Amino acid sequence: MDGPSARHGIAEAEVTEPSLPTSVDALQGALAEVSYFAEENLATAIFLALRLGKPLLLEGEPGVGKTAVASALAEVVGGPLIRLQCYEGLDIASAAYEWSYSRQLLHIRRQELGRQDDADTNTQGTGDLYTREFLLPRPLLQALERPADQAPAVLLVDELDRADEEFEAFLLEMLSEFQLTIPELGTIRSDRPPIVVLTSNRTREVHDALRRRCLYHWVDFPTAEKELRILRAKAPGLDQRLADQVVSFVQQLRQDDLYKRPGVAETVDWALALDVLNQQELTPDNVSRTLGALLKFQDDVARIQGDRLERLLAP
């Protein structure tokens, strides 16, 4: 739909390109400045998504830093982070827009009260109830309505695999055309398309139609070197010996058959917990007392007690 109705709520302004890194190395450096350390393959995928204007689908186990990519990108480009947390039963009203029924009812009431004084009111139908005034934007619409003269929003569609397949079908228009069709208003197109990051933990497969609209990257657990770098950035006051031991312990632990392998956030939480207790090295006693910061299931905690804990702590 062309004309003013096609761009409800979007400021008319000359489009200016955001200041984006001009190379993969520059992007890696910019991300590192906001404490996100991306290896070359991930940085390349992000760079291409930015330059090609394509959504980026990140898959990997929970805790590997997929969500943090969107947060870091928002800092790098200077735009807001708009997060849509997916869950079973997610619908359009929660994800894109809904109508303010309370405002509509008040509008009807005002019409009824003024009907006797304003003969023109009698010619107004229910179409008056479906205008921009009564529309409540949710994350998808908020991301589309970013003014053209401002930095783009970063739209994070988090844990897409938790949503129903029907919701994926709804996303296709948004991801391919950066537009949203509202039956009562028409098609809203974006003057400043958002940077879109989708994440999935692969609890189910994301449909091929959505994958084709995205660039793809698998995010794995970090190497020991990268995880130590992250830990130093997140906990700069941590004793160096303790930091080395924590990372070594967690890297070995992830090789075990655990129900839920600890992510990077758990590594940082555990290191900070040990630091609060004024620990300078790992011992069987302080590990056992603080495992709740690292492991979140009793079966996993029980699995590494005893001899297995001694082996993990061995030089």
CA 155 – CA 83 distance, rounded (Å):
6
In which element (H, E) is residue 299 found? helix 298-303
**129, two tokens:** 């109830």
pTM of the model: 0.84
Tens-place pLDDT, residues 166-178: 999 999 999 999 9
**Confidence grade of residue 103 (pLDDT, cut at 50, 70, 90):** confident
Residue 53 has pLDDT above 50, yes or no: yes
Of the candidates 244, 252, 265, the residue with the CA atom closest to the CA atom of residue 304: 252
- Whole-Å CA distances, 63 to 59, 116, 221, 266: 11, 63, 8, 8
Do residues 39 and 179 both lie within one domain?
yes
In which element (H, E) is residue 177 found? helix 165-177
Do residues 158 and 58 both lie within one domain?
yes
Tens-place pLDDT, residues 257-293: 899 999 999 999 999 999 999 999 999 999 999 999 9
Tens-place pLDDT, residues 131-188: 888 899 999 999 999 999 999 999 999 999 999 999 999 999 999 999 999 988 889 9
The predicted pLDDT at position 6 comes to 40
Domain boundary among 218, 243, 272: 218
In which element (H, E) is residue 251 found? helix 240-253
The answer to the question of residue 255 being in a domain is: yes
The answer to the question of residue 211 being in a domain is: yes
CB 279 within 8 A of CB 286: yes
The answer to the question of residue 297 being in a domain is: yes
Do residues 152 and 29 both lie within one domain?
yes
Domain boundary among 107, 129, 151: 129
Residue with tokens 């409540």: 136
Do residues 44 and 119 both lie within one domain?
no
Do residues 160 and 295 both lie within one domain?
no
CA atoms within 13 A on the CB side of 293: 20
What's the CATH code of the domain at 177? 3.40.50.300
Share the mean pLDDT of the chain. Answer: 88
3-state class (DSSP) for residue 120: helix
Do residues 124 and 159 both lie within one domain?
no
Average pLDDT over residues 289-308: 93
CA 216 – CA 56 distance, rounded (Å):
6
The answer to the question of residue 134 being in a domain is: no
Do residues 162 and 31 both lie within one domain?
yes
CB 63 within 8 A of CB 296: no
Domain that holds residue 301: 224-313
Residue 315 has pLDDT above 90, yes or no: no
CA 195 – CA 48 distance, rounded (Å):
12
The predicted pLDDT at position 3 comes to 41
Comparison of pLDDT for 219 and 120, the residue scoring more: 219
CB 192 within 8 A of CB 146: yes
- Whole-Å CA distances, 2 to 5, 8, 71, 174, 185: 7, 11, 34, 18, 12
How many domains does the chain contain in total? 3
